[in-house]
Each structure stands twice: as C-alpha cells, then as structure tokens.
C-alpha cells in the first residue's frame, strides 16, 4: 500500500482522532510538525506511550520525506502538498478551538474577510472568541504555565496558518511572544503578541526593532498592532493599533 493510499485508509479508520490525542496528550507545538528532521529509527517507530507523534503522522501519510542528509542519517519531513497541509490543519481546528467541523471553515472565511477589509477590531474579537471557546483540557497539564503559552501559540498557529492559504502570512515564535506579518492586496499588518506584558509594550517592540521598516515604501496601508495575552484569562486581553 503506497503512502497516500495508506494515509487515506488510516484517515477513514479514525486515525486523525488518534493523532489529535497524541498531539494534545504530549502538548506538542504544532509549528514544529513541518520541516521536522528525524532519524530512520523514528520513522519506523509507533509508540502510543511515546512523546513523539511524528512517526504516526508520517505513517498516516500527512508527512512525506522531502530531503535526506546521508552524513548524519537525517530525514527532513514536510507535508506532501498544500491540499494535505490545509486538510490536516482544518481537521485540527475544532479540537483546539472548539468550533464544530461544520463551523470551522465559515469562521476562517469570516476572519479572512475581516482581514481583507481592514476590520481590525472585527478580526481580533473573532480571535478572542476562538480562545474563549477552547476546551480547558487543552491548556492544563503537568506544567500549566508552559501549557498556557503552548495553547496560545497553537491556536494562533492554526488560525493564521489557515488564513495563510488565502493571504500572505509570515509567522515567528519565541519564548512568551509571537510576531507575524499578514499581507493582503490592500493592507499590511505587523503584529506582536506578548504573554505577560502589555499591548503597549508589544507595540513599542515593533517600533524599537523596526519590524515595519521594510514596508515603508509599500503603497498598501500599514498597521502596527501590539497585542497582550493574559495567562489568567487564557485569552487576548487588549490590542493597540498605530
């Protein structure tokens, strides 16, 4: 059975639910699924008690080998194509954001529409609703502080990755923060999300680091947006726009 046929078979027999179970159980950072490097031993292993869901994702056909480094024996895995990636991320959305499978595509369409129309308050209120509706078990665990941060990053990753199929998104994360640039035909949004800091501090970092300087000569309307995320509320607390 070839990889894609195997993946289709596994999808039909319920494996996507098992993948989600592994990702949530081990508090996996969704951003790390793509372009992941592994050894042959990892590719060949499926351990339901292990902490690495990558072998199951690979053997179910959602990841494929894109490159191989013979010197170090490392395989680079990534999604086979855009359709597989989009389908996989769409499947994840209801499990992390608690929107039904039927609702999820409409929520993303509304979000993208607000982004394209420059409705900043509209799409941030929608983001807040994604966080507010998320199931609590996604964010609790042995390390609540880390898991709140991971929840924050995973929800934003899903939303902006799906939006990225319809707009242009550059997304970067580090400890306690996310910065991203979102581009449409009419607008450029430079955003800084900070956990445990104010929206004003997030906006100040955009200016201090010159994140928006590259777009100074662009004819599109530029918005710089600082966003604060509250650990206590487990939601976006405030945003300021310049």
**Across 32-48, average pLDDT:** 81
**Across 54-71, average pLDDT:** 89
Enumerate the domain spans of the chain. Answer: 3-80, 85-241
**172 neighbors 46 (Cβ within 8 angstroms):** no
**224 neighbors 212 (Cβ within 8 angstroms):** yes
The tokens 């308050």 sit on which residue? 121
Going by their DSSP bridges, the two strands 187-195 and 36-39 should be labelled as unpaired
* pLDDT tens-digit series, residues 166-177: 777 776 766 556
pLDDT at 114 > cutoff 90: yes
Per-position DSSP letters for 46-95, written without gaps between them: --TTSS--HHHHHHTTS-EEEEEETTTTEEEEE-SSHHHHHHHHHHHHHH
pLDDT band at 134 (very low <50, low <70, confident <90, very high): low
Query: Based on the number of CB atoms within 10 Å of its own CB, is 134 exposed (0-12), middle (13-18) or buried (19 or more)?
Result: buried
pTM for the whole structure: 0.77
**Across 72-101, average pLDDT:** 86
Query: Which of 82-96, 120-134, 192-206 is most confident?
Result: 192-206
Residue 162: CB atoms within 10 Å? 23
The tokens 């690979």 sit on which residue? 58
Pairwise CA distance, residues 125 & 130, whole Å: 9
What is the rounded average pLDDT for all residues in the chain?
81
Closest CA to 224 of 194, 203, 205: 203
Pairwise CA distance, residues 239 & 163, whole Å: 19
């Amino acid at each position: 059975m070839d990889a894609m046929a195997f993946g289709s078979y596994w999808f039909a027999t319920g494996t996507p639910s098992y993948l989600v179970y592994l990702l949530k159980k081990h508090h996996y950072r969704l951003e790390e699924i793509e372009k992941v490097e592994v050894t042959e031993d990892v590719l060949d292993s499926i351990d339901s008690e292990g902490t690495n869901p990558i072998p199951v994702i690979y053997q179910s056909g959602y990841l494929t080998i894109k490159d191989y480094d013979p010197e170090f024996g490392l395989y680079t895995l990534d999604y086979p194509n855009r359709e597989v990636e989009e389908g996989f991320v769409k499947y994840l959305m209801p499990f992390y954001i608690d929107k039904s499978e039927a609702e999820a595509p409409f929520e993303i369409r509304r979000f993208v529409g607000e982004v394209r129309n420059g409705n900043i308050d509209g799409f941030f209120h929608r983001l807040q609703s994604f966080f507010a509706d998320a199931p609590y078990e996604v964010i609790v665990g042995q390390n609540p502080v880390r898991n709140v941060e991971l929840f924050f990053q995973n929800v934003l990753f899903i939303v902006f990755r799906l939006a990225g199929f319809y707009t242009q998104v550059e997304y970067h994360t580090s400890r306690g923060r996310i910065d991203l640039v979102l581009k449409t035909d009419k607008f450029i949004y430079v955003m800084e999300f900070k956990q445990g800091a104010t929206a004003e501090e997030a906006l100040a970092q955009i200016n201090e680091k010159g994140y928006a300087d590259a777009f100074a000569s662009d004819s599109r309307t530029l918005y710089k947006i600082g966003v604060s995320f509250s650990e206590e509320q487990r939601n976006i607390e405030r945003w300021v726009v310049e």
